[in-house]
Structure 1
């Protein structure tokens, strides 16, 4: 399993991936999932992959070499849309070549990709590519994509990131999103690859690999956990009669069988939270 997130912002792009791969609890290893296609000054593109590692690596290698029906490849595609179309085309080529053989061994054709970057003359763009080779593009209404084990890291991004978010803030949010995933799923693991791209630089200028010794990431892990606990403790306990105009609710109780005698008298009317605990505090 893996976790990758890509964000498209007014100021540029943020890409973050883990590097754990496993084929069972006793076959855990590291594989880089963030790949850069760069011709400095002319184009900078990033491909992140999740799913079957052999399929992902086949797609990455073939993409670097493939010339499409229109006569161009990833290195000379005229715009990011055509580059994304090439990624989808390569996925279908790998499917045509390998899917039947994989199926004979009970292996699904499972791959998903985040592809984004900038080609000189147009804005930054971000795409999510599926196993069928089709894809969607990020717009202001959906300014990020996730692939792999996405559910644990989604809530913080939904609450924080907008198109106007600064690149450093978005990178911090991505790392917190990754930390939430690392804590909840052991199939996602360090080291991480983080790439932050500023509009119109057309080159990789901000990239780092983060391992367990990275002081900033360790600070995020510690501080985020402490702040969450502090905020949690500062929220009031449940108020059971928060809507007093509504009749006291009752659970659905299954009737006792005829051959089972009640152990105690049926309880009286349910008390509200305030009634139960307010009197004890007086």
Structure 2
């Protein structure tokens, strides 16, 4: 074995010096190997899975493997949805569901944001509020329905109240976490320049909490529709859930599929609207995957 001097070592053709460091020259195997990097899907690439499922579903229905009593074919659901729109029935129930969902969402988001600010900016608020919200997070919305009926009846107030309690939890938790994660240097800077409490909230706390708030909001818009699916099965005379409940009694699986599609579309559209708002509000950040 030949021992090279430092000068001979760095000048050896098998090594290439870079910034004073010896870097081995790759062999033939290393030159041919390429790193595996994830490739982004093209436009519409995420639709491959749903389209494949729909194709299999339609094929199973056409060949008789899937009975229409169990689940109607997608083509049948499309025709049924079109007929319901022509008759004006679908629009009526859609508007009733949207009113419940978005009213509960608006109240829940506002309440969750206010509670997060109180708990995130004051010790008393955190000691009082945080534990209660964590308890609510551990209790499913379905478990609160019996008490909500006893306290608020079986009308619209009960349904909206339960949507509010479902929505405020993700908004509170993510906003509160973002507030607690604000860099202390910004807090010290605010004290140094003499910002008032209101100015600190407006210029430091709220901008710092925005990323967490939008994360909670995206979860909230999904949860409001998830809660509504269950709540509209209880003493309602209009709404997508009522339409599906009545269709169940008559074995109309095509109407049930139409209702599920409406819920899915509303949830996706709401989430897309929040993501668009997030990109505009957080334009200074590089949002990965948006």
Q: Kindly indicate which of the two structures has a greater share of residues assigned to strand.
A: 1
Higher helix share: 2
Question: Could you state the TM-score of these two structures normalised by the residue count of structure 2?
Answer: 0.23
Kindly name which structure, 1 or 2, has the bigger radius of gyration based on alpha carbons: 2
